Amino acid sequence: MLALAGHINIFGRAPVDLSPSASTARQTPAGPESRATAAALPIEDYDRLNVETVGRRLVGLRAEELERLRDYEAENKNRRRLMARIERRIKAARRATTLVASTETNRS
């Protein structure tokens, strides 16, 4: 399928760059600075996990931890499905924090 930059294809998605340079960039292992950041993530061996496994491990993380994961994912593999899942968990974690704070305020 011919894809033009900045256009949407018939499936409602932005075209994917399939050039060799784009493919190489996606497969390039994380550099030393990324590995150092990965060690500080709240999910052990994050870089080795697939989307489903990471998704299961998002439950119970605080919004701040989820934000770190989101930022790391965006700078590295940038997997769309996982990014969306992390965003949903961040919103849920923030709602839960707000609810707990509101409940505690009402008890006082």
Regarding pTM above 0.85, the answer is no
Q: What is the pLDDT of residues 60-94, one digit of tens each?
A: 999 999 999 999 999 999 999 999 999 999 999 99
Residue 88 within a domain? yes
Q: Count structural domains, the chain.
A: 1
Residue 45 falls inside a structural domain: yes
Q: Is 4 contained in some domain?
A: no
Domain coverage including residue 65: 30-107
Tell me, yes or no, whether 8 lies in a domain. Answer: no
Q: Is residue 69 part of a domain?
A: yes
Residue 22 located in a structural domain:
no
Please give the pLDDT value at position 27. 47
The DSSP line for 22-76 is HHHHHHSPP-HHHHHHHHTSSSTTGGG--HHHHHHHTTT--HHHHHHHHHHHHHT
